[in-house]
Amino acid sequence: MHTVVVGTSGVTASDVLAVARDGARIELSDEAVAALAAAREIVDALAAKPEPVYGVSTGFGALASRHISPELRAQLQRNIVRSHAAGMGPRVEREVVRALMFLRLKTVCSGHTGVRPEVAQTMADLLNAGITPVVHEYGSLGCSGDLAPLSHCALALMGEGDAEGPDGVVRTAGELLAEAGIAPVELREKEGLALLNGTDGMLGMLVMALADLDMLYKSADVAAALSLEALLGTDKVLAPELHAIRPHPGQGASAANMLAVLKGSELTGHHQDDAPRVQDAYSVRCAPQVAGAGRDTLAHARTVAERELASAVDNPVVLPDGRVESNGNFHGAPVAYVLDFLAIAAADLGSIAERRTDRLLDKNRSHGLPPFLADDAGVDSGLMIAQYTQAALVSEMKRLAVPASADSIPSSAMQEDHVSMGWSAARKLRTSVDNLTRIVAIELYAATRAIELREGLAPAPASRAVIDAVRAAGVQGPGPDRFLAPDLAAADAFVRAGGVVAAVEPVTGPLA
């Protein structure tokens, strides 16, 4: 099994995906263990002094003014975890919980938190044992960390609360730890606070969304190319010299992908002899511009994620010169903004895909295709309601594109009076990514059927490869009406698993 070694300088996106989705094992580097021990010595020295230090010998948030006596400090750390584990609503997905636990461990290992090495090792042990704390949908405002989600994870480290075992069954965390031979941690000064104070949940969801959207944007380029082909559109608008004079990198990449898919098609360009149609509609002709803008948004979001993956997010932090200083680095604004930006771009990509699907089904605009791609229009409805489903998904994506980060709601007796709502932005982006997958699947379903209905003209070799792969995946081709939901589910699974790109690249070479 793949092993991820956590050091002091952060982790990569591939590390997060390996742990969250693939169950990779985790090891702490010698450098990280040494940094943990050195920072802990600083915290222990400050804890022994009579002067109050925030997070070490004081209360938290609006209660930071109270100095806590030494005999109550262990109780203080337990209490902050217990009281902050106040999430409600549905359970959060296992991959999200594993990502946020791993990312909190990443910050702990930076040597800036003051957490003891044995606590960090227990965090790694929990992940390696496949124990996943039960985390709930609601409880984070995206500031002072993803507090409630991280608190539920810290609670499991203490052997309290509920968690899912490697067998998928939810039991008490204490029982699961005992079975795995893991001793619950007894938190000391600052450790409870350090386990809660990070943007780890929203960052984990950003990293996974970027991976999913990278594949989806390639799949969307392929689907758009197949729609262009099915509509007898022209591929001349994809010429590199046209995109070079508006040099947005994403636009050029999308155009190149579409052009590679369409190479060798006998279907493209036939409308050039059709006087009423001098140009293709915007949804066809401007596909690279829209998808390309989304790709550039992905690139910006990836830069933000990489910076955050290299960060140590905690409050207060232990500095190399021995100071323990309060800061505002836990504020989720940088991550929240790009999460919202991605939801906007995804909604627009879904919107333009739906417009192409509708065009394929409309006999007045499809240039010779049967109404709704039906076998016997009137007796058969064809893909009429598949487009309804796609339209409903697009409509929801537009609602989800309303930014969460434009909102703020004060908390903690006005001490935490401006928050990022980044967790909320991340949760709705996950729904958007799911919906976009379904939308691309429906366009692909319609476009492959439409191409097969164009008798006498051969599609591009890459298009043929996609059609063959889709059919092999259980998505049926043209014919009389049938129970449509299984076909759509099979198309969705095909896109979700990366089947579109896997089918095309042996013909085209790697897509951009």
Q: Point out the residues that are catalytic.
A: 54
Q: Tokens for 476?
A: 């049926």
Distance from CA of residue 383 to its chain's centroid? 30
CA distance 244 to 248: 8
Run of H or E residues at 90: strand 88-91
CA distance 87 to 133: 12
Distance from CA of residue 27 to its chain's centroid? 25
Provide φ and ψ at 34, rounded to 5°.
-65, -40
CA distance 25 to 9: 19
Residue (of 279, 402, 401) closest to 350 by Cα position: 401
Query: Contact, 233 vs 271, CB < 8 A?
Result: yes
Query: Contact, 280 vs 228, CB < 8 A?
Result: yes
Tokens 């039960």 map to which residue?
Answer: 134
**Maximum CA pair distance of the chain?**
88
Indicate the burial class of 208 (C-beta count within 10 angstroms; 0-12, 13-18, 19 or more): buried
Amino acid in the structure at residue 387: Q
Indicate the SS3 state at residue 310: coil
Provide φ and ψ at 488, rounded to 5°.
-65, -40
Name 162's bridge partners. Answer: 172
Name 27's bridge partners. Answer: 5
Query: Contact, 196 vs 120, CB < 8 A?
Result: no
CA distance 41 to 136: 35
Indicate the burial class of 59 (C-beta count within 10 angstroms; 0-12, 13-18, 19 or more): middle
Residue 241, C-beta contacts closer than 8 angstroms, at least 6 positions apart: none
Residue (of 143, 171, 148) closest to 159 by Cα position: 171
CB atoms within 10 A of CB 38: 14
CB atoms within 10 A of CB 468: 12
DSSP strand E in 265-384: where? 317-318, 324-325
